[in-house]
Amino acid sequence: MTEGEIVIDDIKKDAETRMKKSLDALHHNFNKIRTGRAHSSILDSVTVDYYGGQVPINQVASINVEDARTLTVVPWEQQMVPKVEKAIMTAELGLNPASAGNVIRVPMPMLTEETRKGYIKQARQEAENARVAVRNVRRDANNDIKALLKDKDITEDEARQGEDAIQKLTDRIVAEIDKALESKEHDLMQV
């Protein structure tokens, strides 16, 4: 490998890492969009007041899927039950928890056609944001390659090969984003 190829390979690896972070963020954001089925990741964004500090709900309680439409949240400390219940209610997730003793049941409301369409719109927006982030990484990588070419650190052939490799990487990651969106839309449309 020539010096230029090594530098281009480093740019490509950096771009791939950053693009995969965008894909990971998309999956994380998709987990926040509920599908009507119970899934513990729905509560990932919920934080609870725990001795004066805000901590993620999974650090003060165990979260389990009781059945297809119900989550059970069991705080590890009895006095945390009302705080955990309030945190779930105020998290703007459209959930209505009910406590019985030290167990909090969180039923998943049925999705109406209107809410499904709203969630699909939200999922499409998240996917578009991920695509934009990936394209920005591609732009940055191509700018780095052009700067190397301008400084005559690489040849025109190496620059072209590098840009082609970055484009193939971009196409692959965008295809994964599209596949994730298609899967999420399928989940949302199931009754």
Q: Which of 26-35, 49-58, 161-170 has the highest mean pLDDT?
A: 161-170
Q: List C-alpha distances in Å: 54 to 47, 57, 143.
A: 6, 9, 41
Q: Where are the domains of the chain?
A: 3-32+112-189, 40-107
pLDDT over 90 for what percent of the chain? 32
Q: Round to whole Å and give the CA distance between 138 and 132.
A: 10
pLDDT given for residue 17 in this prediction: 94
CA angle 28, 71, 81 (to 5 degrees): 105
Tell me the pLDDT of the chain averaged across its residues: 87
- Give the model's pLDDT for residue 180: 92
The number of helix segments (H) and strand segments (E) in the chain equals 4, 6
Q: Hey, what CATH class is 40-107 in?
A: alpha beta
Backbone angles phi, psi at 95, to 5 degrees: -105, 150
In this predicted structure, the answer to whether residue 46 has a pLDDT above a threshold of 70 is yes
Q: How confident is the model at residue 16 (pLDDT cuts 50, 70, 90)?
A: very high
* Pairing outcome for strands 103-107 and 98-100: antiparallel
What pLDDT was estimated at residue 54? 87
C-alpha span between 56 and 45 (Å, rounded): 7
Angle, vertex CA 137, rays to CA 176 and CA 27, nearest 5 = 35
The tens digit of pLDDT for each residue in 47-61 reads 888 888 888 888 888
pLDDT tens digits for range 56-76 = 888 888 888 888 788 888 988
Residue 80 reports pLDDT greater than 70: yes
Predicted local distance difference test score (pLDDT) of residue 137: 95
Per CATH, the homologous superfamily of domain 3-32+112-189 is Ribosome-recycling factor (1.10.132.20)
Per-residue pLDDT reduced to its tens digit, 118-160: 888 889 999 999 999 999 999 999 999 999 888 888 888 888 9
